[in-house]
A and B are shown apart, each in its own frame.
Chain A
Amino acid sequence: MTHLELVSELRHIVGERGLVSDPDALMTYNADGCVMDTHDPDVVVLPTTTEQVVAVVKLAAREHVPVIARGAGTGLSGGATPMRGGIVLVTSRMDKILEIDTRNNRCRVQPGVINFELTAFLKSRGYHFAADPSSQKACTIGGNIANNSGGPHCIKYGVTGSHVLGVQMVLADGSIFWSGEGIVEQPGYDLTGVTVGAEGTTCVITECWLKILPVPEATRVVMAVFNDIRPAAETVSAVIAGGFLPAALEVMDTLALKAVNDAYQMGIPPGAGAALIIEVDGVDDGLDDLLAEIVQIAKDKGAIEVRPAKTPQEQVNVWAARKNAFGAMGRLAPTYHLVDTVVPRTKLPAIMDDVKRISKEVNLPIANVFHAGDGNLHPIVLFDSTDPDQNARAHKAVEEIMRLSIGYGGVISGEHGVGIEKQEFMSYMFNDDDLGAMAALHEAFDPEDLLNPGKIFPRKVNPNELAATRRQASTVPGGLAAIVAKHGEKVWI
């Protein structure tokens, strides 16, 4: 099938308005929020129905063309970049909230629903969806599922994966089924669980059932200001070790504060080294005392000021400032590289010192805005990408931070995913046998490597070949084949 024939058949499926094939327009889809590598897709489709998605995937399977599902393209690891061209399937027109079932704490949505819109919809009904990534004003639920997104409130409520009850999955061959619809225990392998965080390599999601939670009766937010980032990090470690379970513990350092202070009239004293946002929630009874205890820890660690967000509007402002901090970085430098890594929580103060040292060594500013309560760091390396020397130094800083993090027992990504950004780092954590187990899972879903190929596994690793090698090694003489020949297949599977 020629390119033109493919485009024509896709047009037949999704209609003229659902198709992008103009070469200039295709460039829009050559990357997501990570621009370290770009590839134009061959064609882009924007289906509106599940049936259209199935038809597109079946056509792609028949013609052996990759399919890359894409939500809003806000991902930070290159998860939506079409590394081998193919069809980028954009879910943004599948943006309906289909059903809310408060009796069973669940709602059914299409994958293109924007996280913030779902949050607003649920809030008016007294509910919330726990995952609240900083990009929530733009990012989609489908993307949240694909990346197992986090957000400030994961420390108490868990990441996206804890809030997906089931997905309607379209497999690489175009077959479609629901992996679950709200019953929390079912026999069989957990296909929902392995699809969350798989970055679109197991299936294309056309609908999902999400777990929703009632909005807590009461919420308190305070911001503690420190002279330096280390006491803020120490406060976080002490709060966790002290057995508190806050709803959020978020740190912004001096550079981040500088970026957001003016934009959000935060009135942070000039020269403040760090701010720690502390949120507690639950039933109203006892919350003030709990907060007072946490604030006391902050003061003991050297907080110079503690300011409560007294009204709901003040709370909204504090969170708006925090969540828009990345955007505000544009005030400080033309480009930034946002690093995502997690360390055991006692290692936070040490790695903060390291980041400071690295910043000096590479002579580039590094801001910090992060989910401290989870040990999830986000050092933001600020540089000018048009300067090759700065580029090189920025990359050196990123690599050094990753290496140190893993040395502390950390991991390569907490919530942004591996995509293409971190795929070479996978070998820092996992050997060939570890990757082989992942390849085995991948093989069961996508033996032709058509769904978002070229992601997660290191570039030199072909998951299909790795899975084949494993199979061969596991097929012992007189193994399954011989036994089946003797006794018939039905006995075994």
Chain B
Amino acid sequence: MSDLLIQLGSAVGAEHVTPGADGLSVQGVSPHFVVAPGSVEELSEAMKIAAAARAAVIPWGGGTRQALGTPPVALDRPVVAMRTTRLNQVLDYTPDDMTISVGAGMTLDEIDQAVRPNGQMLPMDVALPGRSTVGGALACAADGPRRLGYGTFRDLFLGTKVVEAGGRISKAGGMTVKNVSGFDLMKLYIGSMGSLAIFTSANFKLLPIPRAAATIACEFDTLESVFAMADALHTSKLLPAACELVSAEGGQGFGLCVATDGLDQAVARHKRDVPGLAQKAGARASHVLEGEEHTSLWRRINDLSQSADLEPDEMVIRVASLPSLLGSALVALQVAAKKHALRLQISARVLNGIAYVRTRGTAWKAFHEVALTTLPEVSIVTLGLGTPEPSVDVWGRPPNGLDVMRRIKAEFDPANILNPGRYLV
């Protein structure tokens, strides 16, 4: 172990290798070393050393999503947390091109600060943007409420440079907004949870900050009426940027927050028309929020999916379904939660078919089992458990094509160095 410490120190500088876990832990497993390379080349060297020592490497950005997946299976191997936080520079940014290349260790807030002065944005809205690095958000396929209007990383991620398990540096894609030069490895790496390679940089398409923005917050008594409203929005010609269901704290009622942005007149139109649709669907009230009220509301909503800071009896799951089935799935979960005396908190991108559901209470395991068995057509992934429990089926129903996925993993990381045991592949 001490040899490894010296070798890693020679690769990245002794001051950037911490013996011991440095306070980091993944579901009960603590790394033996925390390594923070300062460049792609240093990361590559550190990965070569880790591979030769047959270490298990846990890629680590802001650490806000380490509750995802199963605990690392490290057995008797050294465990290295490979931090990307020093890869936090803007690498290439010509504002008029509306593209940017950033180090994977930049947080989403830092990217925002870099592009906002030019009237631009990366509208990804991931939870805890002050702590989440873009590499980690990509690796976990994090999404945000404005996926309705702006899509996800899959739509805006143009190119990347990664370090693979054995230290090999490779790049894919480019800096242009259209590109079919070779295989789209960006799609492969998104959501692969660091099991194939470690992001060192990422290129994105940026968008102009809309001229105007506002929220129409509508209050409902029942989930059924919320989804009636969602249906009405869906069949209208309105184009909201986000449409997020939020269950009220304490369990009394639901809010449907409709964000509109773009031209002043288009925002005015939404402010005029959305309350009418809400009233027809049975809303008790609706309010228009603008300026700081609008901004701070969405900052709070974005964080509702976070799984970084959990109470011991807390569980966060992501429910993904066809949009038409989301309402009935959430009703079923509500019933199950009541039966098991769990407090339930929902935030859902209703028009995308995505819900983040948090439970508080001791019977979460029984609730989880009921959810998996009664909702077979829905994908349920556990994002975090306040008290890690290895027996929980965190990925839910296995995906089709698992054999191909295993072959991909075997090609990219045959020695199973990256995040061993943590991903479903």
Among A244, A374, A417, contact of B208 (Cβ-Cβ < 8 Å): A244
- Residues of A contacting B414 with CB < 8 Å? 471, 474-475, 479-480
Is A389 an interface residue, CB under 8 A from the partner?
Answer: no
Among A178, A179, A185, A414, contact of B379 (Cβ-Cβ < 8 Å): A185
B404 x A162 contact (CB < 8 A): no
Is A1 an interface residue, CB under 8 A from the partner?
Answer: no
- Residues of A contacting B80 with CB < 8 Å? none
**Cβ distance A475 to chain B, nearest Cβ, rounded Å:** 5
- Known contacts: A342-B176, A442-B183. The answer to whether A187 contacts B396 by CB under 8 A is yes
CA A288 – CA B368 in complex, angstroms?
52
A285 x B263 contact (CB < 8 A): yes
B141 x A185 contact (CB < 8 A): yes
A194 x B405 contact (CB < 8 A): no
Is B252 an interface residue, CB under 8 A from the partner?
Answer: no
Is B244 an interface residue, CB under 8 A from the partner?
Answer: no
CA A435 – CA B171 in complex, angstroms?
9
CA A456 – CA B415 in complex, angstroms?
28
Is B78 an interface residue, CB under 8 A from the partner?
Answer: no
A471 x B411 contact (CB < 8 A): yes
When C-beta atoms are compared, the residue in chain B nearest to A492 turns out to be B416
- Known contacts: A178-B400, A189-B425, A196-B184. The answer to whether A483 contacts B416 by CB under 8 A is yes
- Known contacts: A188-B401, A480-B415. The answer to whether A426 contacts B181 by CB under 8 A is yes
- Residues of A contacting B238 with CB < 8 Å? 283
A179 x B207 contact (CB < 8 A): no
CA A360 – CA B177 in complex, angstroms?
30
- Known contacts: A185-B318, A241-B96. The answer to whether A478 contacts B412 by CB under 8 A is no
Stretch at the interface among A39-47, A108-116, A320-328, A404-412: A404-412
CA A171 – CA B51 in complex, angstroms?
32
**Cβ distance A233 to chain B, nearest Cβ, rounded Å:** 13
Is B294 an interface residue, CB under 8 A from the partner?
Answer: no
Interface residues of A in 369-404 (CB under 8 A from B): 371, 374-376
CA A471 – CA B209 in complex, angstroms?
45
Is A85 an interface residue, CB under 8 A from the partner?
Answer: no
Is B384 an interface residue, CB under 8 A from the partner?
Answer: no
CA A480 – CA B54 in complex, angstroms?
9
When C-beta atoms are compared, the residue in chain B nearest to A238 turns out to be B96
CA A147 – CA B181 in complex, angstroms?
10
CA A62 – CA B410 in complex, angstroms?
24
Interface readout for B156-190 with A: 1 if CB under 8 Å, 0 if not? 00000010111011111011111111111101101
B264 x A286 contact (CB < 8 A): yes
Among B120, B178, B207, B425, contact of A493 (Cβ-Cβ < 8 Å): B425
Is A216 an interface residue, CB under 8 A from the partner?
Answer: yes
Among A412, A417, A445, contact of B404 (Cβ-Cβ < 8 Å): A445
- Residues of B contacting A435 with CB < 8 Å? 182
Is B323 an interface residue, CB under 8 A from the partner?
Answer: yes
- Residues of A contacting B388 with CB < 8 Å? none
Stretch at the interface among B4-12, B106-114, B265-273, B282-290: B265-273
A492 x B421 contact (CB < 8 A): yes
When C-beta atoms are compared, the residue in chain A nearest to B159 turns out to be A411
- Residues of A contacting B381 with CB < 8 Å? 185, 187
**Cβ distance A408 to chain B, nearest Cβ, rounded Å:** 10
- Residues of A contacting B192 with CB < 8 Å? 189
A479 x B415 contact (CB < 8 A): yes
Among A178, A188, A371, contact of B424 (Cβ-Cβ < 8 Å): A188
- Residues of B contacting A196 with CB < 8 Å? 184, 187
- Known contacts: A161-B187, A342-B178, A492-B73. The answer to whether A216 contacts B237 by CB under 8 A is yes
**Cβ distance B78 to chain A, nearest Cβ, rounded Å:** 12
- Residues of A contacting B169 with CB < 8 Å? 433
Is A470 an interface residue, CB under 8 A from the partner?
Answer: yes
Is A103 an interface residue, CB under 8 A from the partner?
Answer: yes
CA A194 – CA B98 in complex, angstroms?
25
- Residues of A contacting B209 with CB < 8 Å? 243
- Known contacts: A214-B237, A483-B54. The answer to whether A414 contacts B184 by CB under 8 A is no
Interface readout for B393-408 with A: 1 if CB under 8 Å, 0 if not? 0011011111111111
Is B361 an interface residue, CB under 8 A from the partner?
Answer: no
Is A132 an interface residue, CB under 8 A from the partner?
Answer: no
- Known contacts: A479-B415, A492-B420. The answer to whether A197 contacts B180 by CB under 8 A is yes
- Residues of B contacting A346 with CB < 8 Å? 94, 96-97
- Residues of B contacting A282 with CB < 8 Å? 239, 262-263, 266
- Residues of A contacting B420 with CB < 8 Å? 492
When C-beta atoms are compared, the residue in chain B nearest to A433 turns out to be B170
Interface readout for A3-19 with B: 1 if CB under 8 Å, 0 if not? 00000000000000000
Interface readout for A155-177 with B: 1 if CB under 8 Å, 0 if not? 10011011000000101000101
Among B75, B185, B399, contact of A186 (Cβ-Cβ < 8 Å): B399
A444 x B178 contact (CB < 8 A): no
Is A92 an interface residue, CB under 8 A from the partner?
Answer: no
A456 x B183 contact (CB < 8 A): yes
A438 x B181 contact (CB < 8 A): no
B402 x A188 contact (CB < 8 A): yes
Is B302 an interface residue, CB under 8 A from the partner?
Answer: no
- Residues of B contacting A444 with CB < 8 Å? 404, 407-408, 410-411
When C-beta atoms are compared, the residue in chain A nearest to B399 turns out to be A188
CA A237 – CA B291 in complex, angstroms?
30
When C-beta atoms are compared, the residue in chain A nearest to B98 turns out to be A240
- Residues of A contacting B321 with CB < 8 Å? 183
**Cβ distance B267 to chain A, nearest Cβ, rounded Å:** 9
Q: Would you give 27 A-B contacts (Cβ < 8 Å), ordered by A?
A: A103-B231, A147-B180, A162-B151, A183-B379, A184-B352, A187-B379, A189-B404, A189-B408, A189-B425, A198-B183, A286-B264, A345-B97, A371-B178, A376-B176, A376-B178, A429-B181, A438-B172, A441-B183, A443-B407, A444-B410, A444-B411, A456-B183, A470-B411, A475-B415, A483-B54, A492-B421, A493-B406
Besides A103-B231, A493-B406, 12 other A-B contacts (C-beta < 8 A): A150-B178, A161-B154, A186-B399, A217-B237, A286-B265, A342-B178, A346-B96, A426-B182, A474-B413, A474-B415, A475-B415, A479-B416
Chain B contacts to A: CB under 8 angstroms: 51-52, 54, 73, 75, 77, 94-99, 119-120, 141, 143, 151-152, 154-155, 162, 164-166, 168-172, 174-185, 187-188, 190-192, 197, 207-209, 231, 234, 237-239, 262-266, 268-270, 318, 320-324, 352-354, 378-379, 381, 395-396, 398-416, 420-421, 424-425
Rank and list the top 3 A-B pairs by shortest CB-CB distance, nearest first: A193-B187, A286-B265, A243-B208
